[in-house]
Structure 1
Amino acid sequence: MPDDLGGQIEDLPLSNALSERYLAYALSTIMSRSLPDVRDGLKPVHRRLIYAMHQLKLDPRSGFKKCARVVGDVMGKFHPHGDSSIYEALVRLAQEFSSRFPLIEGQGNFGNIDGDNAAAMRYTESRLTEIAELLLRGIDENAVDFRPTYDGEEQEPVVLPGAFPNLLANGAAGIAVGMATSIPPHNAGEVCAAAIHLIGNPNATTAELLTHMRGPDFPTGGELVEDEATICAAYETGRGSLRTRAKWAKEEGKHGTWNIVVTEIPYQVQKSRLVEQIAILLTDKKLPLLGDIRDESAETIRLVLEPKSRTVDPEMLMASLFRATQLESRFALNMNVLDAGRTPRVMGLKAILRAWLDHRHEVLVRRSNHRLDAIARRLEILEGYIKVFLNLDEVIRIIRTEDEPKAVLIRTFELTEVQAEAILNMRLRALRKLEEMEIRNEHKKLSAEQADLRALLADEGKRWKKIGKEIAEVREKFGSGPLGARRTLISAAAPVVEIVAEALVEREPITVILSEKGWIRAQKGHLADDVELKFKEGDKLGFLLRCESTDKIALLGTNGRVYTIKASDVPRGRGDGQAIRLLVELANEDGVLALFVPDAAQKYLVASSAGRGFLLPGAELASERRAGKTILVLKPGEEWHACVPVRGDHVAVIGQNRKMLVFPLDQLPEMPKGTGVQLQKYKDGGLADVKTFSLAAGLTWRIGDKLRVEQKLTEWLGARASVGKMPPNGFPRSNKFGD
């Protein structure tokens, strides 16, 4: 503030004064604290840390220095904020579980994935990594602009040259005023591959770039479970949400026991808090499938999850944990950065790569011009040296005898001021023949380099080729080996596993018994067909179904509806059981057509007693309602008569009039429900039986314990809805195929 303004009072509305001051604060937070620069991927505090360590000569080949020394230099010269915030930024750049490609190498306790803090800065030491060196490459060659520091005593870079794709490789996170940024880490080799592809194909789409850079690559590994369309949309717009999961495996134990071992957890999830969260849910009995959790981690993560029992389904167990704990988390993608004009905006993948490449191009041009200027200055001096060696005796005489040798040298040999000054400062030991040869060789070498640089600056294609070569070198160095190998597994979108009541049921074989009068019960194990069963007086066996306790059973009513019964809900024991009409809303006048466990991948042929039918997907034989679901729409007086699995390519139908018809299966429509189409034409009566079969294998039916096969079926082949003809000799009088 100027001195002459001191003591003056200006009347302003409070709202105006507040808005101006808040705007200044907001801009400072956005531009000088929270958002990274798209060119080097660094926030100001990170950039100042790396530059200060560069000034301290803490390169990868030097020794370590105390972090307190580094923090002191950063705070005193560049970043006038609290030392704790500076040290926290330094620690994060050195943590292998926080940074995918650490920019600082730490020595000492820098914290761990459990959430433990680093040791105090007076105990820890640090130096730069080779990746940080890449970010600084060319910093002393006029590659970037500098600006005065906060006190005007020093200069600091506006941005680093950034030969490493740091923004995408290490990601960034920050909350500003009215905006935030959240960029996940990526694999540096894949980012470089995408950048090289963009150099050769400037019009490449985001989908094409994602064939090279497949998605996030978190330092803690884990698994990304999103489909390609979701990932592509997120990187196209710069905003999205990506689902990550822990990586786990089933580990077999003794006597049929097993455990789940978690070896990698989602990014930015603290292991100790995760274990604590699971333990609390376990104590509160909110994880009924989990028996216990143990943390057996050492240098690597190893969380052991014990199931409640060996019959628990591992996929169901992990699905319940993914739903309730941080073993599954979402990473909010928001690629909000400062562009080259220092304007905050959300950028897609292509725009970010383009901005980085344009920055690399600008750095190349500036470094080339800087080198050309240096070469020109050196060549000027070398040309003066060459003139000296051609007239060495005369030069020595002038220096020894003249009062103003500099002016005489310039006038005699037509030298420039710079050349004359260099000759006067030349050491006597340089006046030897060998030195003349070295000067001429250096002159020749620099002249060739000068020609190459001029050709480079004159040809944009050569510049992009050189940039591509530099990026390829980075890819080769940091895109392979333990550091460059991809850590995060990218999978297709994981199916949503419903945590249903069956997951809480111990899986075991059972036999469901339904009597003719509608009493249902279950017994443990799979009973033999000839087992002796007891029923109420006047009742007998209707259906016997062998299944698992976790199965869902389809009950088909003669009213055309399907009902789903959970096997675990069927009463156990050797008593009479429970009335079926207490489990499903089946009217007294309606009977049971079938009781079986449907196969969702199987197709079924359903038909009414009037002979109308269609093909039904097996997935439709399920109903969440106690009242069931209509499958076959029936007319008055009709019943659901048949439901047979489809096997083969033809249909055989026989009516109560003892006429049989065979027609191709493809003449029947497939639908989820309906009246169906006529299978066979009847003058009197209705459908007796129906089956599907393979025409090449022949039609089979059972007579007593024998199975008969008829392969000559030409006489009965016809179109659907035909009348048909009398069946072959020996066909059962019951008009049933029986198999």
Structure 2
Amino acid sequence: MGQPFDPPSGSDGIESVELKSALEERYLAYALSTIMNRALPDARDGLKPVHRRILYGMRLLRLDPNTAFKKCAKIVGDVMGDFHPHGDQAIYDALVRLSQDFAQRYPLVDGQGNFGNIDGDGPAAYRYTEARLTEVARLLLDGIDEDTVDFRPSYNGEKDEPIVLPAAFPNLLANGSQGIAVGMATSIPPHNAAELCDAALYLIGHRDATSAQLLTFVKGPDFPTGGILIDSAESIAEAYRTGRGGFRVRARWAKEDTGRGTWNIVVTEIPYGIPKARLIEKLAELLQEKKLPLLADVRDESAEDVRVVLEPRSRSVDPVILMESVFRLTELEARIPLNMNVLVGGLVPRVIGLAEALREWLDHRRVVLQRRSRHRLAQIERRLEILGGLLIVYLDLDEVIRIIREEDEPKPSLMKRFELTELQANAILDTRLRSLRKLEEMELKRELDTLTKEKDGLEELLGSEKMQWSDITKQIRAVKKAFGPETKLGARRTTLENPPDTAGIDFTSAMVEREPITVIVSAKGWIRALKGHVADLSGVAFKGDDALNISFLSETTAKILVLASNGKVFTLEAAKLPGGRGFGDPIRLMVDFDDGAEIVAALPYQPGGKLLIAGSDGRGFLAPADALVANTRKGKGIMGLDEPAQAMLLVPAGGGDHVAVCSADRLLLVFPLSEMPELSRGKGVRLQRCRQSTLTDAHVFTLAEGLPWRDSAGQERLANAALLEKWMGHRAEAGTLMTRSFPKFERFGK
């Protein structure tokens, strides 16, 4: 970036600035504005500026919980004109969200009219809807007129707005918050207010309590839409300790019998923040694409409550497996993030844990109590001063009346005659004649005694930290009683449960419709799956000079094991293979092949089976098929090889008792399968001694049934035990040359 140039002469008012510094300065200002005044909530009242302004604006309109509703257009107009100079739609959207009982655990606005629904439909225009504050909002605003919080001028300087609300309710955690700022975001799920009150009460008595200790009271998030939390206690504790993490929430469902052995699944609660219409749409889409073979139909029978009906394909379907397959593919199981990034003290954005979040709220409540007490003390002292003057006057009423009647300036005369302050003199002059009776004097003395006692109590409260926390404890207990577990609003909706044990369930078959396929692998490593079991592959076309290499019959629910020449085994899902209309896709795009590696074998995976794996140098071993399955694109390194040997064979080894191996120079060896070791990985042992040649084929078979093989014309042949006598031997021998007993031998197997 070059140096700023001097402005040309005669260009008055034009200033040259360096672009880099100008961009940095302006973007920093924008970022700070977004963080401080838009996206992040204050740790003390849990509100963003727009929500705080809406609540305060509604307070000024006297929209208390027991008053009549007013049009939202009036509320939005007043808030925009006095406090929030942004779009009316942005203000109305925030107002609507504060009223939605499926978005807010404890709604702050009581709405009348169409305020949207859980399906994701929008609200009516603000000229049609009406609103007022709820009891929770009243608690947040309680004491705002008693100098409990600081105010600042609004954007045009005409009015004052609160910097933070008094917040007699733990709103930050109870209602949660979401927001995206510049370079940071916040995501706080809602919690149960009664549990938060219990944790706060414990924190008052144990100032240094940790988040882990507070989890005795706070079980986890409590979403307005209910659901089931399935995270482990350890992960929940870690999330609350650090302020970062996430929660897995599942829909609540039950099996409903429909008679004659038939049944349906009924979903009554869905994860927080997921529009129901989008859920139904996704389920219908998966049904159409045949990705949920256990599910026959889905219906939305919801009225005011959620009721989504899932109809199984047949009565023999296991409901747990059905639901687990649905959870894996849809938002009926969702992850709710936790990122407690808040403005600590209203100034510093920081990620805090559960204990610190509650501590911030409690410290704020103590400040509010102190300021409220001082405000009340000032009022009492002012009133006591006035009462002192009035009681002096009652001692000589005739003289007071004379001064007022005869003096041109009665106030200075009264102040001089009775040694009054200006405040006392003004109060005397403002007193009505009807108040000068004897009964009024007794009332004044009673009021003086009452206020004096209250003043002493407030002074004692302000001087004692213990008494302050005792007072706050009473306030929190009152909140807990109002929103306790026995109340409709306060009862916990989200339950904590362990998910069912699904370790032994094959979900691939549950989520894919079982259909027969024929898998084809070309010489250049392209793979595809033809529908059905195709015996004649002569009509299958290949790209350019490519040709058929491997083909076998399988099913869409199967896994395919692919052996590479470097000894690695890769796993492909048959359901994800490209169809047979085109030429397929290169296997290299599906897995991470090493440079120079080639595909040498492929076959369907049989759970619990055994496979014979061998290299060109004649070494090999038996391997459990389960040990070869890889869950990642990188595959599994199964066979160790010495240069220049390459992996050559991967053949089934289940049910046989002998092994036939053949080298490139047509030497055949048959030996008992029991002579081979079983390994999960390694170099293996020598199967056949290949001095100047390489191993080309191997087959595991039952000697009594004979050795199947094919000639170059594709004819199936069988070598019985008597014929094979000549080639019988032991592992690691060189074998015997194939004579006329194996004319035009091509390969083993049918």
TM-score by length of 2: 0.68
Q: Deviations over 1:639-677 (max 9, x none)?
A: xxxxxxxxxxxxxxxxxxxxxxxxxxxxxxxxxxxxxxx
DSSP 3-state at the match of 1:159:
coil
Query: Which of 257, 264, 273 does residue 268 from structure 1 map onto?
Result: 273
Query: Which of 467, 492, 497 does residue 498 from structure 2 map onto?
Result: 492
DSSP 3-state at the match of 1:150:
coil
The residue aligned with 1:445 is 450
DSSP 3-state at the match of 1:483:
coil
How far did 1:561 drift? 9.6
Q: Deviations over 1:345-375 (max 9, x none)?
A: 1111111111111111111111100000000
Question: What aligned pairs does 1:583-622 form with structure 2 within 5 A after superposition?
Answer: 584-589=653-658
- Supply the AA of the counterpart residue of 2:119: D
DSSP 3-state at the match of 1:269:
coil
Mapped pair 1:164 → 2:169: yes
Question: What aligned pairs does 1:163-182 form with structure 2 within 5 A after superposition?
Answer: 163-182=168-187
**Counterpart Cα distance in 1 of 2:290 and 2:394:** 94
The residue aligned with 1:460 is 465
Query: Which of 488, 494, 499 does residue 482 from structure 1 map onto?
Result: 488
How far did 1:410 drift? 1.5
Mapped contact 1:319–1:499 kept (Cα < 8 A) = no
Mapped pair 1:403 → 2:408: yes
Mapped pair 1:386 → 2:455: no
Moved more, 30-39 or 487-496: 487-496
DSSP 3-state at the match of 2:161:
strand
The residue aligned with 2:100 is 95
Query: Which of 205, 208, 213 does residue 210 from structure 2 map onto?
Result: 205
Mapped contact 2:291–2:513 kept (Cα < 8 A) = no
Query: Which of 142, 149, 153 does residue 144 from structure 1 map onto?
Result: 149
Question: What aligned pairs does 1:563-712 form with structure 2 within 5 A after superposition?
Answer: 584-589=653-658
Query: Which of 223, 247, 271 does residue 218 from structure 1 map onto?
Result: 223
**Counterpart Cα distance in 2 of 1:504 and 1:10:** 67
Call closer, same or farther: CA 1:493–1:227 in 2, change over 3 Å: farther
How far did 1:492 drift? 3.3
**Counterpart Cα distance in 1 of 2:340 and 2:624:** 51
How far did 1:553 drift? 8.1
DSSP 3-state at the match of 1:251:
strand
Mapped pair 1:109 → 2:114: yes
How far did 1:502 drift? 5.8
Call closer, same or farther: CA 1:345–1:268 in 2, change over 3 Å: same
Mapped contact 1:206–1:236 kept (Cα < 8 A) = yes
Question: What aligned pairs does 1:239-254 form with structure 2 within 5 A after superposition?
Answer: 239-254=244-259
Query: Which of 50, 54, 57 does residue 49 from structure 1 map onto?
Result: 54
Query: Which of 40, 45, 53 does residue 40 from structure 1 map onto?
Result: 45
DSSP 3-state at the match of 2:297:
strand
How far did 1:479 drift? 2.3
The residue aligned with 2:671 is none
The residue aligned with 2:299 is 294
**Counterpart Cα distance in 1 of 2:25 and 2:511:** 61
How far did 1:254 drift? 1.4
Kindly tell me the number of residue pairs found equivalent between the two proteins.
533
**Counterpart Cα distance in 2 of 1:451 and 1:327:** 59
Call closer, same or farther: CA 1:7–1:273 in 2, change over 3 Å: farther
- Supply the AA of the counterpart residue of 1:378: R
The residue aligned with 1:604 is none
- Supply the AA of the counterpart residue of 1:137: D
The residue aligned with 2:724 is none
**Counterpart Cα distance in 2 of 1:413 and 1:167:** 55
How far did 1:585 drift? 2.6
- Over aligned residues, Cα RMSD in angstroms? 2.8
Query: Which of 20, 24, 49 does residue 25 from structure 2 map onto?
Result: 20
Call closer, same or farther: CA 1:148–1:561 in 2, change over 3 Å: closer
Mapped contact 1:96–1:219 kept (Cα < 8 A) = yes
Mapped contact 2:265–2:309 kept (Cα < 8 A) = yes
How far did 1:102 drift? 0.4
- Supply the AA of the counterpart residue of 1:490: L
Call closer, same or farther: CA 1:78–1:224 in 2, change over 3 Å: same
**Counterpart Cα distance in 1 of 2:500 and 2:12:** 68
Q: Deviations over 1:169-195 (max 9, x none)?
A: 000001000000000000011111111
The residue aligned with 1:231 is 236
**Counterpart Cα distance in 1 of 2:215 and 2:655:** 56
Query: Which of 332, 337, 354 does residue 337 from structure 2 map onto?
Result: 332
DSSP 3-state at the match of 2:104:
coil
Structure 1 unmatched ranges of 5 or more = 1-5, 508-550, 565-580, 591-608, 610-626, 631-739
Call closer, same or farther: CA 1:500–1:13 in 2, change over 3 Å: same
- Supply the AA of the counterpart residue of 2:654: E
Q: Deviations over 1:700-724 (max 9, x none)?
A: xxxxxxxxxxxxxxxxxxxxxxxxx
**Counterpart Cα distance in 2 of 1:160 and 1:408:** 46
TM-score by length of 1: 0.69
Identity of counterpart residues, as a percentage? 60
How far did 1:582 drift? 9.5
- Supply the AA of the counterpart residue of 2:137: A
Structure 2 unmatched ranges of 5 or more = 1-10, 515-605, 611-620, 627-649, 660-673, 681-750
- Supply the AA of the counterpart residue of 2:203: L
Question: What aligned pairs does 1:281-360 form with structure 2 within 5 A after superposition?
Answer: 281-360=286-365
Mapped contact 1:94–1:102 kept (Cα < 8 A) = yes
The residue aligned with 2:580 is none
Mapped contact 1:78–1:149 kept (Cα < 8 A) = yes
Mapped contact 2:292–2:513 kept (Cα < 8 A) = no
- Supply the AA of the counterpart residue of 2:494: T
Mapped contact 1:41–1:167 kept (Cα < 8 A) = yes
- Supply the AA of the counterpart residue of 1:489: T
